[in-house]
């Protein structure tokens, strides 16, 4: 097991290297000029050229790539072209809101979607099942920003229950932190709930047909015990897989959600950096996201052994 974990962690290195090469090359060939954006619309071509030279953007591809890789190897993600702040500092300053949003969304989604899927499978064919499936289709179909606007309009502007936008750090109190995250988490979590609920229902339906479930019923086990103890545990592997895959969905959705609710997280940092062509920031954030994704997949693989002892590494 330990050897497997070490192997998997080491395997992230070539993955990250490929991601780094891909991201750097893509940005190099992508149209755009941070020097022109910095200089502003009224700058003359000479001004733009001077700024480009001062940023080192006129250097050849290999020279720039070599310097970047050398810095990365030393743990230095570089400095933002626009703010002059180290990229690692910017990521550190922005990671809390994104992490908060993702954690709240994850808790909300799992705690709502899994029971929904279980109940839908138990009551298959009834109006409850149809309601859950209808919600799932709706959740998949409506874009996250539409859900966001509707929630903000209803619960912030009309009812005045929650703030329209913003983020308050956890250090300033649980409620101030949470009240800014409720609407974004619901908006972001809707599609996630739909996904998990559908998978849970499908897997549970399959498991509920198994012989050992019939045996459990024959032994007189209660419905709750059958559903949540016998069936759900055996259905857990695909559900956990989907939750893991959904992390990527959350990362993508966070970009939109953070923009709609003005949450100063990594998603907005990414969008701003892309719009300005702030290459070091884009590269740093994409590397971080890919690292997180690889790590989440590793954790999911390890969780399999908990739910299914037959799986060994």
Partner 1 sequence: MMQRRHLLAVAAAALPARAALGQGTSGAARVLRFVPQADLAGLDPLVTTATVTRHHGFAVWDTLYGLNQDYAAEPQMASGHAIDQDGRRITIRLRQGLRFHDGEPVRAEDCVASIRRWAARDPMGQVLMARTEEISAPDDRSIVFRLRRPFPRLFDALAKVTPPVCFIMPARLAATPPTEAVAEIVGSGPFRFLPAERQAGRPAVYERFARYSPREEGTPSWTAGPKRAHLDRVEWHVLPDVGTTADALLAGEVEWWENPSADRHAALRASRSLVLEVLDPTGYVGMARFNHLHPPFDRPAIRRALLGAVDQAEFMRAVVGADRSLLRDGVGVFAPGTPLANDEGVAALAGARDLDRVKREIAEAGYGGEKVVLLAATDFPTLAALAETGAGMLRRVGFEVEIVGDAWAAIVRRRASREPPAAGGWNMFFTIWSGLDLLNPGVHQALRGTGERAWFGWPTMPRMEDLRGEWFDAPDDAAQQRVARAIQAEALREAPFLPLGQHFQATAYRRGITGVLKGLPLFWNVQRA
Shortest distance (Å) from residue 64 CB to partner 1 = 16
Round to whole Å and give the CA distance between 288 and 75.
Answer: 12
Residues that bind partner 1 (CB under 8 A): 30-34, 36-48, 50-51, 54, 82-85, 89-90, 93-94, 97, 149, 152-153, 156-157, 159-168, 172-176, 179, 259-262, 264-265, 268-269, 271-272, 275-277
The pair phi, psi for residue 86, each rounded to 5°, is: -60, 140
Closer to partner 1 by Cβ: residue 13 or 30: 30
Shortest distance (Å) from residue 16 CB to partner 1 = 23
Write the DSSP string, 76-99.
---B-TTT--BHHHHHHHHHHHHH
Give Cα separations from 80 to 95, 129, 196, 246 (angstroms).
16, 51, 38, 30
Closer to partner 1 by Cβ: residue 229 or 275: 275
| Closest among 208, 276, 231 to 35, alpha carbons compared | 276
Shortest distance (Å) from residue 279 CB to partner 1 = 11
Shortest distance (Å) from residue 252 CB to partner 1 = 17
Shortest distance (Å) from residue 293 CB to partner 1 = 22
Closer to partner 1 by Cβ: residue 243 or 269: 269
Round to whole Å and give the CA distance between 198 and 192.
Answer: 10
Round to whole Å and give the CA distance between 129 and 2.
Answer: 43
Quote the DSSP letter at residue 262.
Answer: T
For the chain, report the end-to-end CA distance as a whole number of angstroms: 5
Identify whether the C-beta of residue 203 lies closer than 8 Å to the C-beta of residue 156.
no
Shortest distance (Å) from residue 243 CB to partner 1 = 28
Closer to partner 1 by Cβ: residue 39 or 132: 39
Closer to partner 1 by Cβ: residue 98 or 203: 98
Identify whether the C-beta of residue 268 lies closer than 8 Å to the C-beta of residue 255.
yes
Closer to partner 1 by Cβ: residue 43 or 216: 43
Closer to partner 1 by Cβ: residue 46 or 211: 46
Quote the DSSP letter at residue 170.
Answer: G
Identify whether the C-beta of residue 94 lies closer than 8 Å to the C-beta of residue 271.
no
Shortest distance (Å) from residue 23 CB to partner 1 = 17
């Amino acid at each position: 097991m330990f050897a497997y974990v070490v192997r998997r962690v080491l395997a992230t290195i070539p993955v990250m290297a490929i991601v780094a090469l891909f991201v750097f090359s893509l940005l190099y060939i992508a149209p755009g000029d941070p020097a022109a954006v910095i200089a502003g619309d009224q700058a003359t071509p000479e001004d733009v050229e001077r700024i480009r030279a001062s940023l080192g953007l006129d250097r050849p591809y290999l020279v720039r790539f070599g310097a970047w890789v050398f810095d990365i190897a030393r743990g230095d993600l570089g400095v933002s072209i626009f703010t002059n702040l180290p990229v690692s500092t910017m990521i550190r300053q922005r990671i809390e809101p994104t992490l908060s949003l993702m954690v709240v969304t994850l808790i909300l989604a799992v705690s709502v979607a899994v029971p929904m899927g279980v109940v839908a499978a138990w009551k298959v064919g009834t109006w409850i099942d149809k309601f859950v499936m209808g919600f799932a289709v709706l959740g998949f179909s409506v874009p996250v920003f539409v859900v966001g606007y509707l929630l903000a309009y209803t619960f912030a502007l009309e009812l005045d229950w929650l703030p329209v936008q913003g983020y308050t750090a956890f250090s300033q109190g649980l409620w101030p932190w949470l009240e800014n995250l409720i609407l974004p988490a619901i908006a972001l979590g809707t599609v996630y709930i739909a996904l998990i609920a559908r998978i849970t229902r499908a897997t549970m339906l399959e498991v509920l047909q198994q012989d050992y479930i019939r045996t459990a019923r024959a032994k007189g086990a209660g419905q709750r015990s059958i559903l949540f103890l016998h069936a759900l545990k055996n259905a857990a592997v695909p559900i956990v897989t989907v939750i893991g895959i959904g992390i990527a969905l959350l990362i993508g959705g966070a970009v939109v959600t953070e923009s709609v609710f003005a949450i100063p997280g990594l998603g907005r940092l990414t969008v701003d950096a892309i719009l300005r062509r702030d290459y070091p920031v884009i590269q740093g954030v994409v590397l971080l996201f890919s690292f997180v994704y690889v790590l989440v997949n590793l954790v999911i693989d390890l969780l399999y052994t908990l739910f299914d002892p037959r799986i060994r590494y």
